[in-house]
Structure 1
Amino acid sequence: MAQQRTKRITDTVRRRGVINKTWSSSILGGLAGGIVFGILMQSMGMMPTIASLYGLDGATMGWVAHLFHSIVFGLLFGGIVTMTRLRKYADRIAPTTGLGAVYGVLLWFVAATIVMPLWLGAVGMEMPPVPNFDPMSLVGHLVYGVVLGAVFAAAYRR
């Protein structure tokens, strides 16, 4: 009886540790990828456009919104990797970097080519064509995914 109780407590602590590691690795990876991608976006003058998604102005608010998105999408990536059969790759840098690259391309296809143009139109901004296949956006999202995957795996293995 005492052994079963001890095992349950140990399992609970272990699960919480894995969950905390997933959260922290996801946030760290999302921020790292977001900063690298954000530098590219800043150089293209895109940050005010990101701010306008929320009815805000300026590059600073664009950075805030962009990093928020980067964390949210990083958490989604971490959940996908650790809650599926992909979990076996979570602490391996090369495979998780590859998964991040695929994730970045998928994120570009859904969020940047379809959702963002529609969102811009919904808030009264000039609406790009849907789908908006911007090659620089693809490069940025690919870089985001690669950095996200590499940093996630490096943080997860610690």
Structure 2
Amino acid sequence: MTSTTKATADLGRGYAQALATRLRAVPALAWIAAAVGGFLGSVPLGLMMQYGNPEPLIALALPMMYGLPGPDLLAGWVIHQFHGVALAVMYVAAVQWEPLTEYPRTLRGAVVLAVVVGAVSTVLLSVLLMPLWLGAVGYPFTPAFPDLTMPEKLWSILGHVIYALPATVGYALVMRR
């Protein structure tokens, strides 16, 4: 039993080292392109959130999530833009996973992955995480969990796809061979 546990730990350590090596091999310009793309893509998504939702998501929900008083439109936009950059950096890290390493380097792959990122981020963030987090901080318009409100979730997927396109395409343009 001990040798199996040690072998499993060694295997996990080897995988982590291989991933760290792949992450270090990503050119700085690729990280920057994705981060800038994430920042730029967050603008139309934020506008959709600000003007397309009846609730004050940008001005109130985002500041409240971080313990800030609201409504505060500037703080909400700063948080939203930070989220856009952080998610774009996570995208670059995620596509270093061995089955995906070549696919996101093409423009076609980047567009397909933008749709995947849009759908997955909507499910993980908008449908699952946000209702729990907003409920925990006492947001007055907290949706039910899971938040499957339609057509708002379709709008959210569209917004997240629009967000993801500059990040995925920026990465692809730098990384294509």
Report the TM-score, using the length of structure 1 for normalisation: 0.79
How far 1:82 moved relative to its partner? 2.8
User: Is 1:145 matched with 2:164?
Assistant: yes
Report what 2:36 is aligned to.
28
Letter in 1 for 2:34: S
Aligned residues: 145
Report what 1:67 is aligned to.
81
SS at match of 1:130: coil
User: Is 1:51 matched with 2:66?
Assistant: no
* Conserved? CA contact 1:100–1:149, under 8 Å: yes
* Conserved? CA contact 1:98–1:149, under 8 Å: no
SS at match of 1:82: coil
Distance in 1 between the 2:57 and 2:129 partners?
Answer: 16
Match of 2:48 among 36, 40, 44: 40
How far 1:38 moved relative to its partner? 1.5
Report what 2:173 is aligned to.
154
Report what 1:79 is aligned to.
93
Match of 2:103 among 77, 89, 94: 89
* Conserved? CA contact 1:101–1:149, under 8 Å: no
User: Is 1:121 matched with 2:135?
Assistant: yes
Distance change (3 Å), C-alpha of 1:114 and 1:154: same
Q: Which runs of 5+ in 1 are unaligned?
A: 1-14
Distance change (3 Å), C-alpha of 1:34 and 1:139: same
* Conserved? CA contact 1:103–1:145, under 8 Å: yes
* Conserved? CA contact 2:110–2:172, under 8 Å: yes
Give per-residue Cα distances to partners, 1:10-69, cap 9 Å, x unaligned.
xxxxx8563423321321221122122112223235311222211222111111111111
* Conserved? CA contact 1:50–1:62, under 8 Å: yes
Q: Which runs of 5+ in 2 are unaligned?
A: 1-22
User: Is 1:131 matched with 2:139?
Assistant: no
Bigger shift: residues 70-79 or 44-53: 44-53
SS at match of 2:139: coil
How far 1:157 moved relative to its partner? 4.2
